[in-house]
């Protein structure tokens, strides 16, 4: 009998089949290895975050900086009436926050105070010839009781217009002042503000522009 000799086409198809099986095997192997590596990485990161909870950094020394760059996130309440019982809502808010492994805060961590706030009307030819917002806050109880501060503020949706303003305090108040350029982050848009605050050890009674000059 004759010896069977497969055609070149048959040999090619057999090799192609073997190569497909080999490629499929290594593809599946790579997917399994990658999945395992990702799982290990995620687990490691999670354990690292849990073992090292978020630590609130110390407040910067206002005497060691000129204008602080900061961000403030605005929270919109769905129903303001719910906040009539303020303590209950704060507890509920903290409970949600503490679901994160990065946070562990309570009411005892807060500082409570009551204050009186008013703004000075500065625009107009019979006033200060200035449309900047000047605000006074007097603390009447709790944290910082008996102290107050006066600030001047500029706001705009444009960073340069908000922050490139000459709000430097007088030299005699420099050590008791703080300046910042802040990004106010709202739900639908952001804006910027530039603010300078001067702190006093007693309540201030400001009515006219001459009071501000003193």
Rounded (to 5) percent helix, strand, coil in the chain: 40, 25, 35
> Residue 74 is encoded by which pair of tokens?
């605005």
Cβ atoms of residues 162 and 191 within 8 Å? yes
* CA 20 centroid distance within chain: 53
Predicted confidence at residue 114, as pLDDT, reads 93
CA distances from 95 to 10, 56, 91, 104 (A): 70, 18, 6, 9
Digit-coded pLDDT (tens) for 161-188? 888 888 888 888 888 999 999 999 988 8
Complete edge-to-edge strand list for the sheet that includes strand 113-120 = 68-73, 177-185, 190-200, 148-156, 133-142, 113-120
Predicted confidence at residue 2, as pLDDT, reads 46
* Digitized pLDDT (tens) for each residue of the chain, 214 residues in all: 444 455 555 655 565 566 666 666 667 767 777 777 776 665 565 555 444 455 555 665 655 567 888 898 887 777 888 888 988 988 998 999 899 888 888 888 888 899 999 888 777 666 666 777 888 999 999 999 999 999 998 889 999 888 888 888 888 888 899 999 999 998 888 899 999 999 999 988 877 666 776 5
Q: Which of 194, 193, 183 is nearest to 73 (CA)?
A: 183
Report how far residue 128's alpha carbon sits from residue 130's, in angstroms, rounded to the nearest whole number. 5
Predicted confidence at residue 4, as pLDDT, reads 46
> Residue 106 is encoded by which pair of tokens?
């309570």
CA angle 143, 191, 136 (to 5 degrees): 35
Report how far residue 103's alpha carbon sits from residue 56's, in angstroms, rounded to the nearest whole number. 10
């Amino acid at each position: 009998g004759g010896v069977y000799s497969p055609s070149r086409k048959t040999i090619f198809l057999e090799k192609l089949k073997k190569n497909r099986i080999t490629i499929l095997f290594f593809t599946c192997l790579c997917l399994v290895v990658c999945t395992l590596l990702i799982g290990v990485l995620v687990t490691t990161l999670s354990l690292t975050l849990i073992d090292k909870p978020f630590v609130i950094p110390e407040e910067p020394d206002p005497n060691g900086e000129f204008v602080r760059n900061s961000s403030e996130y605005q929270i919109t309440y769905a129903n303001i009436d719910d906040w009539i019982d303020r303590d209950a809502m704060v507890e509920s808010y903290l409970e949600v926050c503490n679901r994160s492994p990065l946070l562990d805060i309570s009411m005892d961590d807060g500082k409570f105070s009551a204050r009186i706030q008013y703004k000075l009307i500065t625009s107009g030819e019979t006033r200060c010839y200035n449309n900047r917002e000047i605000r006074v806050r007097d603390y009447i109880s709790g944290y910082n009781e008996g102290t107050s501060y006066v600030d001047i503020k500029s706001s705009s949706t444009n960073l340069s217009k908000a922050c490139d303003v000459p709000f430097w305090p007088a030299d005699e108040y420099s050590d008791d002042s703080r300046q910042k350029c802040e990004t106010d982050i709202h739900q639908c848009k952001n804006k910027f503000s530039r603010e300078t605050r001067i702190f006093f050890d007693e309540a201030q009674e400001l009515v006219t522009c001459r009071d501000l000059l003193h």
